[in-house]
A and B are shown apart, each in its own frame.
Chain A
Amino acid sequence: MRGVKHVFELILRLYPSDFRRQYGDEMRAFVQGRLGEPRYASPWGAFGLVCHLLVDGVAGAVREHLVHFAASRSTSGTIPRRRPRISNNEPPEELMATLVHDARYAVRTLRRRPAFTIVAAITLALGIGATSAIFGVIDTMLFRPLRYPAPEQIVVVNMTRGGSLREPPAYPDFLDWREQSRSFQSLGVTRSQSLNLTGRETPERLSGNFVSASLLTLLGAEPLAGRLFTFAETEVGTAAPVAVISEGLWRRRFGAEPTIVGSTMVLNGQQFTVVGIVPSTFSFFSGTDVYLPITYYPNNAGLTRKDHSMFVVGRLRPNVTLASADAEMRAIGARLAEQFPAENVGSGAHVESLHTLLVGDVRAPLYIVMGAVTLLLLIACANVANLQLSHAIARRREMSVRSALGAGRGRLARQLLTESVILSALGGLLGVAVAYAFVALLISIIPIDLTFFSPIRVDGRVMAFAALVSILTGIVFGLAPAIHASRTNLNDALSTRTGGLSARVRGIEMRGVFVVAQLALSIVLLVGAGLLTRTLVKLQQVDLGFDTSNLLTMEFRLPATKYSQPQQISDFFTRAIAEIRAVPGVRSAALVRAVPLSGNSDARAYAVAGAPEPEKGQAPILQLNTVSPGYFKTIGLALVTGRDVNEHDDANAPLVAVVNETFARREWPNASAIGQRIRFVDSDRWVTVVGVARDAKHFGPADLPTPQAYIPFMQMPQIFTSVVVRANRDAIALGPLVREAIWRVDRDQPVWKIRTMDSLVANTLGSKRVLLALVGVFASVALLLAGVGIFGVMSFAVAQRTHEVGVRMALGASGGEVLRLIVGQGLRLTVIALLLGLAAAAGATQLMASQLFGVTPSDPVTFATVPIVLCAVAALACYLPARRASRLDPLTALRRE
């Protein structure tokens, strides 16, 4: 019984408050009476009553609102108020009109001017669609959980060393962490490295992940077929040659053959038994083909404390916080640093959530793009508002007539607002299509591994966002024309044919405000795009130290089982280089362990002869590369003094090295580097410096000068290496020929990552390029819209001032003076916009600082250039209508009013 009353209280709230005050108590008493009737006593009966009350109540509430609406609308009117119709089935026709009629009328109006409707809808669709798409990306990446089960528990444990919180640990560190920590349900380790698949028709390089069994289980992997690794299979001592392959590889390479589980495949020259397949829905690091036990990770240093290359992932226990896990790991890290001073001194351990690690670098660019696209949407709104406003001014007669016939101000404003909202809804519908396309585009250009995240798509949330933005948009751009129309002065509007002066001026003023807003917003976008352009130019202007043109690079690795002796390795490379050099079109070729800008690298702690021995863990670090004779010549890296490594620097000769200028300057500022000796702290053999080369950027143009050393390949042969080839022209065309040359030496040798140096350079600029492309496009569209906006306003102003211009010219003003008058008026708007826009830009660009290189957020060049560009566009947009005015025939102009 009480439930029924509660429901009825809710129903009552649906009614207008006036009605509720008047009849609420009686209606409650009515329901009380109903409740006393025996037929409603049973629960079933009560339910029936509730249904009856709901239907009756909702219908009644809607009716009362319509009546209320009509009454409030017509109270102030001059038209005699009609007697309320005694009817409850059919509301007065005026009530219907306010809802349906407005909408119908709006649709009809929009259809009468298809050009305006199409342009406005497309403008809005682009703005709404782009904003929604970026919202979808941000929503997925920043605000939704990762695609693993209970993702908030997944953390990454890294080493800390010398201020850096994200240094990779070594495998024994992982074992110690796992044994000593209590915060984790489980800790897993992984190391990505490519694999050679052989023993089939063509050798192939596969993407491999060496893992502990726990890694797959803690991330919630479920085998599609077979099983995952057992604990023992991935542990030192009990390891078994087993492999888990991805669904992708299974379908692509093995034709989805069900018998693959249990069969063997040869990877890095060794047989592995496939025990299971993981579905493509599971992915840690995109594109992994094969998972192997971590114990098979083939590295020269093996799984020692020296090999800091592991990635450790953990799953926190349910009640453990990130902070407490971090505290525990810090303590363990400190303990290990004492226990293993040789390798771990000065190091610690740090826990952070996987999500934080993944989105740390993309947060700022995403927000910048969102900011840019929001500005664009506002500009689009201003543009449509402007169009609407000019249309509203043109419709003043219509509005006046309707007003004279009794339409209230609110009614006219509502009419125009209805039009705007219908227009923006149309834009929103089209915008969803734009969002689909834009999301697909964004996914393809975002330089981020998206496999960790939920799929980015246009889903309910994005749709809801688009709907919300559409409605807000409609109100934002519809409000001004609506207010303008509601201020229409009846007498003023009807007294002359074209409308009174004051209203006309008000319309132009309001449009002026929009144009200023558009221009100012465009300036913010243009400055942002300008700063990013300057950043990209600066990055491209950086002297990498070597010649990037016509340079081909490729990577390969020799199977350790086949090439176990250093002599075998150097023999293979000697023959391979000879074959490559014989290929027509090859000018020179050489080997290098880590191609600059490829992302590969090696670093060593070193000591200098004659200098005091550095403290453990305090030794300086250099970037180390191993190169074959001819490397410097091939990539065009100049030697400053001394000699290149040569054929005589082999395993039997004294160890030699070429160092870079930064190294030489830092260690021997007052002496020649040639003949000086250095030593890597993990070795006791001394290396003599025989040459000094220029600095070369290794990771990207933004690298700081770093000590670098090159040692001869023959003195440190490695199975994993790259070839650089200088071509006479068109480097990429040589790729297949060079690969054939390598295959002439070893038919089983996969070669991969065949890339030109130019493409590597482009890669290092990738994310900046994407950012610039997006902001640049938005800024261009903004400039275009702003230009169109100011053109529209000036054309309109000229048309309105025809009479005045005629008078001036009749009184002797020249065409040039009229031109100056009109252009001057437009430029006044531009100058106001410039002041506002530059001030806003100065604030907004501070938020971009992290994305800039070589320029400050208040870069004077950008801040000086943008106003010039904008003024040029504005001047052109003003000049065209002004020229029309200056060519007016005074007599025609005077006659026109």
Chain B
Amino acid sequence: MRSRESRPADFLPLTPAVLHILLALADGEQHGYAIAQAIEAVTDGTVRMGPGTLYGSIGRMVAGGLIEESTRPRGRGDDDERRRFYRMTALGRRVLESETERLSRVVALARAKNVIRRPEPA
């Protein structure tokens, strides 16, 4: 109910954990362990999430309407029965967009102030 009324700006700024989870789910639905592995892969192992952090964040993201539980995708029946899959909601996608926009503005500002010496590809 409330999530439908929510504006993406209400959720900003995102914590690193939430941001990473949303980014991981941008490729499609995943279960928790796969999310953690994906995050670790894209950050070269610098962000290693434990179950407490991961599921704590997932719990709040579900409650906030950023992600939702999905049915088990076909062809993935070999996975552990206990695992549930999550996917991003429309709100989640908008929040992620807003956050990345906000971040790119921050990066642009930093560049303008010449704080970043070696600009990296976004």
Contacts and interface: CB of A to CB of B under 8 A. Distances in A.
Q: Which of A52, A55, A84, A88 has the most CB of B within 10 A?
A: A88
A83 interface: yes
Count class of interface residues, chain B:
20 to 34
B105 interface: no
A91 to B, nearest CB: 11
A87 B55 contact: no
Given A25-B82, A29-B82, A89-B15, A57 B51 contact: yes
A22 B69 CA distance: 12
Interface string A27-38: 111111110000
A56 B53 contact: yes
B110 interface: no
A30 B36 contact: yes
Interface string B54-90: 1111111101101000000000000010111000000
A26 B15 contact: no
B63 A56 contact: no
Dominant secondary structure at the B interface: helix
A88 B83 contact: no
B47 interface: no
Contacts of A90: 15
A86 B61 contact: yes
A55 B10 CA distance: 30
Nearest to A25: B82
B52 A29 contact: no
A88 B19 CA distance: 12
Contacts of A56: 49-53
Given A84-B60, A86-B18, A87-B18, A26 B50 contact: no
B15 A86 contact: yes
Contact of A27 (B11, B15, B55, B60): B55
B29 to A, nearest CB: 14
Contact of B64 (A52, A57, A84): A84
A53 interface: yes
Given A19-B59, A22-B59, A29-B33, A87 B52 contact: no
Interface in A33-86: 33-34, 52-53, 55-61, 63-64, 67, 83-86
Q: Which of B18, B52, B54, B57 has the most CB of A within 10 A?
A: B52
Nearest to B35: A30
A86 B14 contact: yes
A47 to B, nearest CB: 15
A86 B60 contact: yes
A53 B2 contact: no
B48 interface: yes
Contacts of A285: none
Count class of interface residues, chain A:
20 to 34
B50 A53 contact: yes
Contacts of B53: 56, 59-60, 88
A23 interface: yes
Nearest to B12: A86
Given A33-B33, A88-B57, A60 B52 contact: yes
Nearest to A28: B82
Contacts of A27: 32, 51-52, 55
Contact of B54 (A19, A28, A30, A52): A30
B80 A29 contact: yes
Contacts of B84: 26
B33 A30 contact: yes
A85 B83 CA distance: 25
Contacts of A85: 60
Contacts of B82: 25-26, 28-29
A541 B14 CA distance: 87
A64 B64 contact: no
24 contacts: A11-B52, A19-B55, A26-B55, A26-B84, A27-B51, A27-B55, A29-B32, A29-B82, A30-B32, A30-B55, A32-B80, A33-B80, A55-B50, A56-B50, A56-B51, A56-B53, A60-B50, A67-B60, A83-B2, A86-B11, A86-B15, A86-B18, A87-B15, A87-B60
Given A22-B59, A30-B36, A57-B52, 14 more contacts: A26-B32, A26-B55, A27-B55, A28-B82, A29-B82, A29-B83, A30-B54, A52-B50, A53-B52, A56-B50, A56-B53, A60-B53, A63-B56, A86-B66
